[in-house]
Amino acid sequence: MVVLKTARELRCMRAAGRISQRALRLAGQAVEPGVTTKEIDDIVRKYIEEQGATPSFLGYGGFPASACISVNNVVIHGIPSEKCVLKQGDIVSIDVGAFYDGFHGDNAWTFACGDVSAEKQALMKATEESLFIGIKQAVVGARIGDIGHAVQEYVELRSYSVVRDFVGHGVGAKLHEDPSVPNYGTPGRGVRLMPGMAIAIEPMVNMGSHEVRKLDDGWTTVTADGKPAAHYEHTIAITPDGPVILTLPD
């Protein structure tokens, strides 16, 4: 069931979104050769808790950390570790959520660790651009399929692929709510967008095949062909005046 938010509830979500965005920004600033993903996770948790909020991911379904930190061919749900030391040329996807005043904010970004290859830069650029292409479709009266189709078309025209096993989602008092928001689809199909809806649009884009596999830890999801992946995400509200990004800096 899709839960529509009131104006007050969307203001609360904006507050949660600011916290999650600032935590993500701090995490990105820490991405440097020699830094461990555990050190970055500690930064995220410390900041969120200092704001009187709770990391959305910590303990969620048994997840053991405050951020998902996914390096190179890890698509999503990378578990931070002292053993994972970043190196020059890595691309690092960081997914952060914060629960504040009864609501979640959820966002992700892919960061370059030092100088990265032109191929990885192009993948990151296309994935980021596809996020905003998708957001433009998130208007009252449109359908979920309009968002997914726009993302898929943009990505595939550049010879990349969108992950199909994992999708975006509604956000609110629960981290994952209806509706599902795939990064592929058919225009004019799916749930109709209405004022008060809040959704996370999050393209997960692979340099090679769209196929992924989950590692034995039950979380870490990698590309099946070992090629790099990128991940970008914003939480947005559907309003009569167009999409409003709730996970933006002040």
pLDDT > 70 fraction of the chain, expressed in percent and rounded: 100
Q: What is the DSSP string of 37-104?
A: HHHHHHHHHHHHHHTT-EESSTTGGG--SSEEEEETTEEE-PPP-TT-B--TT-EEEEEEEEEETTEE
pLDDT at 249: 81
Give the CA-trace dihedral at 30, 228, 175, 21, to 10 degrees: 30
How do residues 96-149 score in pLDDT, each as one tens digit?
Answer: 999 999 999 999 999 999 999 999 999 999 999 999 999 999 999 999 999 999
**Closest to 230 in 3D by CA, of 116, 105, 103, 94:** 94
Residue 70 has pLDDT above 90, yes or no: yes
pLDDT value at position 80? Answer: 98
What is the residue-averaged pLDDT of the chain?
Answer: 98
CA distance linking residue 19 with residue 168, whole number of Å = 20
pTM here? Answer: 0.97
Q: How far apart are CA 183 and CA 147, in angstroms?
A: 7
User: What tens digit of pLDDT does each residue of 189-248 get?
Assistant: 999 999 999 999 999 999 999 999 999 999 999 999 999 999 999 999 999 999 999 999
Instruction: Please say whether the beta carbons of 101 and 12 come within 8 A.
Output: yes
CA distance linking residue 212 with residue 209, whole number of Å: 8
Topology, domain 7-245: Creatine Amidinohydrolase (3.90.230)
**Whole-number pLDDT of residue 93:** 99
Question: 5, 104 in Cβ contact below 8 A?
Answer: no
